[in-house]
């Protein structure tokens, strides 16, 4: 039996045919012919109850429902490790660096999410937009409002998605309507953790917006939550912009560095995701590696807000790739891979398609301690998949027609593709796009 693109295609047992690409290890920096790349042209993935149960060259027997993506690129669903749901409303806002951008555009937009109906509609639009970009898992900032985290959890559960989020903590240096206080914030976190953490594919992240918007008392409370339950994630921003770094030094004169503010509060651990990390010093970098924390590299945002050029080749700590919408200008991770390439080009370095793709799949999954579940196409992993046209339109097709080897082909795909190339997106074996 054969199916064509049906909405909600999700038989309990089915097989997908296509060009399968994933990673079995981390590709070395600059290595174009990497042994970490696993590419199986025209192979089959066998999927049962949302999980990959086989991977083979031969077509399965007639008892398997078949989905034929022959001639298309099949990748693990992307993992966006840092993105802001409420900021779709301010994506592409003109003319400012980080601190002015927050004040002028971002904080006013986030105020609207106090309204439960706005939070629910925003969460649904946002998650559908992620899926339409091939992103099946994400680490997400909602707003300070408890309802905005609830709405995201509910909308992700309805779509079967792996989602990590938590109410944003901010009790100072933010406008009215966008501040909490330590006692109420702790109560809200505890309630959300009890209701959502570990339910289906949801997990809670203690979400400190960034050091300037939390008092030392609130940072200590956040650290206490992490210490009480090692299965919780932590997400925040660090060392994104030079004026921001200078402000943190004024606010926390006793800290050795911006990163040290989080270290002192007990917020750096294996499940910590820190966005940006452009202006870190060598001691900070060593500390990140020691703690097993990850930096979510957000190249589109870093270029758009003029924040700086992340030193990826020097990173001995975990690095994943992220969109940081609305500082970033696209949810598409292939577009972010291209921006990451340009960031390195400006630094005199070259980013391979392998390191870029790995950062949006296996590297992110491993750093989130979810490597057994997501980020690859191995037997046992959840069938979160995105399927791509290798090339769309005359320019990309002409380029694709003359490629000579695999890295060249994948790099051209990465450079020239966007969400229009997405042929299908599956979450736990169910077609969502």
Q: CA-CA distance, 105 to 101, in Å (whole number)?
A: 6
Q: CA-CA distance, 261 to 336, in Å (whole number)?
A: 29
Binding partner of residue 409 among ligand GUN, Zn ion, none, CB cut-off 5 to 8 Å per kind: none
Could you say whether residue 69 binds ligand GUN (CB under 6 A)? no
Could you say whether residue 296 binds ligand GUN (CB under 6 A)? no
Q: What's the min distance (Å) between Cβ of 395 and Zn ion?
A: 32
Contact string 323-362 vs Zn ion (x = CB under 5 A): -x--------------------------------------
Of the candidates 131, 132, 112, the one whose C-alpha atom is nearest the C-alpha of residue 122 is 112
Distances (CA, A) of 27 to 20, 101, 346, 359: 17, 36, 22, 10
How many residues touch ligand GUN under the rule CB under 6 A: the total is 11
Could you say whether residue 431 binds ligand GUN (CB under 6 A)? no
Q: Which is nearer to ligand GUN, 300 or 352 (CB)?
A: 300
- Contact status, residue 333 vs residue 80, Cβ threshold 8 Å: yes
Q: What's the min distance (Å) between Cβ of 286 and ligand GUN?
A: 24
Q: What's the min distance (Å) between Cβ of 395 and ligand GUN?
A: 32
What are the structure tokens assigned to 139, written together? 């680490």
Binding partner of residue 98 among ligand GUN, Zn ion, none, CB cut-off 5 to 8 Å per kind: ligand GUN
- Restricted to residues 313-352, the positions that interact with ligand GUN (CB under 6 A) are 324, 327
Helix, strand, coil content of the chain in percent (nearest 5): 40, 25, 35
Could you say whether residue 301 binds ligand GUN (CB under 6 A)? yes
Q: CA-CA distance, 218 to 98, in Å (whole number)?
A: 23
Could you say whether residue 98 binds ligand GUN (CB under 6 A)? yes
Q: What's the min distance (Å) between Cβ of 326 and ligand GUN?
A: 8
Q: Give DSSP secondary structure letters for 6-72.
A: -TT---SEEEEEEEEEEESSPPPTT-SS-TTEEEEEEEEEEEETTEEEEEESSPPPTTSEEEEEEEE
- 242 burial type by CB count under 10 A (0-12 exposed, 13-18 middle, 19+ buried): middle
Could you say whether residue 237 binds ligand GUN (CB under 6 A)? yes
- Contact status, residue 45 vs residue 59, Cβ threshold 8 Å: no
Q: Which is nearer to ligand GUN, 102 or 232 (CB)?
A: 102
Contacting residue, 43, 69, 84, 358, with ligand GUN by CB under 6 A? 84
- What residue ranges bind Zn ion (CB under 5 A)? 275, 324
- What residue ranges bind ligand GUN (CB under 6 A)? 84, 98, 102, 106, 209-210, 237, 240, 301, 324, 327
């Amino acid at each position: 039996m054969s199916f064509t693109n049906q909405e909600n295609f999700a038989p309990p047992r089915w097989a997908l045919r296509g060009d399968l690409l994933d990673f079995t290890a981390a590709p070395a920096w600059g290595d174009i012919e990497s042994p970490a790349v696993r590419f199986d042209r025209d192979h089959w993935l066998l999927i049962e109850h949302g999980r990959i149960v086989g991977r083979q060259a031969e077509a399965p027997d007639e008892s398997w429902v078949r989905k034929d993506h022959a001639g298309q690129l099949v990748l693990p669903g992307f993992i966006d490790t840092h993105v802001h749901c409420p900021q779709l409303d301010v994506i592409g806002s003109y003319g400012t660096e980080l601190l002015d951008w927050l004040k002028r555009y971002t904080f006013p937009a986030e105020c609207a999410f106090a309204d439960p109906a706005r939070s629910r509609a925003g969460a649904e639009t946002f998650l559908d937009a992620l899926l339409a970009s091939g992103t099946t898992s994400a680490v997400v900032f909602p707003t300070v409002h408890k309802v905005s985290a609830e709405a995201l959890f509910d909308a992700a559960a309805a779509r079967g998605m792996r989602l990590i989020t938590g109410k944003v903590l901010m009790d100072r240096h933010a406008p009215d309507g966008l501040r909490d206080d330590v006692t109420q914030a702790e109560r809200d976190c505890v309630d959300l953790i009890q209701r959502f953490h570990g339910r289906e594919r949801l997990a809670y992240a203690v979400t400190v917006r960034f050091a300037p918007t939390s008092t030392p008392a609130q940072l200590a409370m956040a650290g206490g939550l992490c210490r009480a339950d090692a299965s919780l994630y932590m997400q925040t921003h660090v060392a994104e912009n030079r004026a921001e770094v200078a402000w943190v030094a004024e606010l926390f004169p006793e800290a050795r560095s911006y990163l040290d503010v989080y270290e002192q509060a007990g917020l750096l651990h294996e499940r910590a995701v820190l966005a940006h990390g452009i202006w870190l010093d060598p001691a900070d970098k060593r500390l990140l590696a020691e703690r097993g924390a990850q930096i979510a590299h957000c190249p589109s945002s870093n270029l758009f807000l003029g924040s700086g050029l992340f030193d990826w080749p020097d990173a001995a700590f975990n690095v994943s790739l992220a969109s940081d919408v609305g500082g970033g200008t696209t949810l598409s991770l292939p577009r972010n891979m291209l921006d990451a390439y340009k960031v390195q080009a400006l630094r005199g370095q070259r980013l391979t398609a392998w390191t870029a793709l790995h950062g949006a799949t296996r590297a992110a999954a491993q750093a989130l301690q979810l490597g057994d579940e997501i980020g690859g196409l191995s037997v046992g992993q959840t069938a979160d998949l995105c399927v791509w046209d290798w090339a769309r339109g005359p320019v990309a097709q002409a380029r694709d027609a003359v490629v000579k080897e695999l890295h060249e082909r994948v790099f051209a795909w990465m450079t020239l593709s966007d969400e229009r190339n997405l042929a299908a997106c599956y979450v736990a074996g169910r077609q969502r796009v």
